[in-house]
Amino acid sequence: MLEARSLRKALVPSSLLSDPSPGNLQSTRLALHVNEAGPSCLVYIASGCRVYKIEISMEDSTITKGKESLLIPVHAQVISSSIVDRCPHRSEIQSVVIAEGDSDNCLIMGTVDSYGHLIVSRLDVIDADVDRLSYSVLPRDCGVGEGSWAGVCFSPVHWSTVAVARSFCKSIDVYDQDIHLRSLHTLWYPASLSFLQNSLTGDGSSSILAVAEGSQLTIWDLRTNHNGGCIQRVCGSIGDLIYAVSCAPSGAIAVGGSDRTVTIYDPRKWSAISRWVNCSKYEITGLSFSSIDTACIYIQSVDYEVMCGLWKEHSKVFSFRGDSNWLGFNKSAKADVLAGWCDSGSIFVADVLREQQESM
């Protein structure tokens, strides 16, 4: 069982960003990194054509709960804030992701704009002025047509492998650094994508991609050309759209969307092993398995609420709410630290531990 250790609320300095650009239904414009050296975290947010870095203090604080296990935030200090000048996009950035680099104090940041222009940059955690390698990849159609939501994700095994989804184009492009490997063509508009953390073949590779498109969960194998690379289609509720997909280290895949239901699939049989019906009051737009206990999952919905729950028992552990629409939401890759950014300029950071760790 998990328990929240703290919930902090910080404000983006108005001198840095006073009026963020409106976001899409998918809250993919925030990336989070927790500093291991000190009690702080780095939050990267995208607005317009720029990316901003905000360092927020995570000093020990007491937790306060309201009705129905609703967490009440306390004010947090913004240690530093700046503009990341390595992302020269010409249109609105739709997604930001962070991966661990090859060395300590090095992060890999990927950003993609509404036309599919991908920029990958190496960032130094300690010294912001250190010049790091960056590369840019233009979309295959050179950005012709109408802009739309675009998503990006790194392979959990090799950060050089990156997949970019473009909604209106119904396409997913896979790159090895700046080399285009292949294109995948979906039947419906892709809304979320994620590499499987546990390969179905058991060889330790990460060549399987899970994509939410329309009311279907589709699985793509980058090593085969049969059927365009699509190896499995799992249909959800007819007429309901899937907005979020998340993959657990154990191999389980979670999806959620307009039906307000979280469904967990077993990739060995492609059958649902759990359906948490009506777990949210409104559409689900974000999902993430806990890094501490994969029996717990974090659910983000459009009514400003984020909930932690047990997907097997269908029970809520705790929840917290933002103060306006979510523009970005993300969980740290290695720890149960959550961050959400609202269009009011507020950033909420939640730190979660096991109950037994909290009591020790």
Q: Average pLDDT of each block of 10 consecutive residues along the chain (360 residues)?
A: 91 93 90 85 94 91 82 93 87 93 81 95 70 81 83 91 95 94 95 84 73 95 92 90 93 94 92 93 95 94 93 94 94 92 95 66
CATH number of 2-16+23-359: 2.130.10.10
Asked if 274 and 312 count as a contact pair (C-beta separation under 8 A), the reply is yes
d(C-alpha 333, C-alpha 39), whole Å: 17
pLDDT score for 115:
94
pLDDT at residue number 250: 86
Residues near 187 by beta carbon (within 8 Å), at least 6 away in sequence:
170, 213, 214, 216
The per-residue pLDDT for 38 is 72
Cβ contact 187:163 at 8 Å? no
Contact call for residues 342 and 304 (beta carbons, < 8 A): yes
- The Cα–Cα gap between 121 and 192 comes to 22
Entry pTM: 0.93
Run of H or E including 357: helix 355-359
**What's the Cα-to-Cα distance from 284 to each of 257, 329, 357, rounded to whole Å?**
5, 12, 30
Neighbouring C-alpha atoms within 13 Å toward the C-beta of 265: 23
The confidence score (pLDDT) of residue 74 equals: 93
At 201 the pLDDT is 53
Distance CA 87, CA 50 (A): 7
- Which pLDDT value is given to residue 360? 34
Strand, helix or coil for residue 286: strand
In contact, 28 and 151? CB cutoff 8 Å: yes
- Residue labelled with tokens 């130094």: 124
pLDDT of residue 236: 86
Q: What pLDDT is recorded for position 357?
A: 47
Predicted confidence at residue 129, as pLDDT, reads 47
The token pair that represents 194 in the structure block? 């994620």
Which tokens is 304 given?
């400003």
Contacts (Cβ under 8 Å, ≥6 apart) of 134? 86, 119, 120, 121, 122
Residues contacting 85, CB < 8 A, separation 6+: none
Sign of CA dihedral 131, 329, 49, 257: positive
Residue 319, Cβ neighbours under 10 Å: how many? 21
Q: Cβ contacts of residue 185 below 8 Å, gap of 6+?
A: 170, 171, 172, 228
Partners of 338 in the β-ladder: 331, 350
Domain layout of the chain by residue ranges: 2-16+23-359
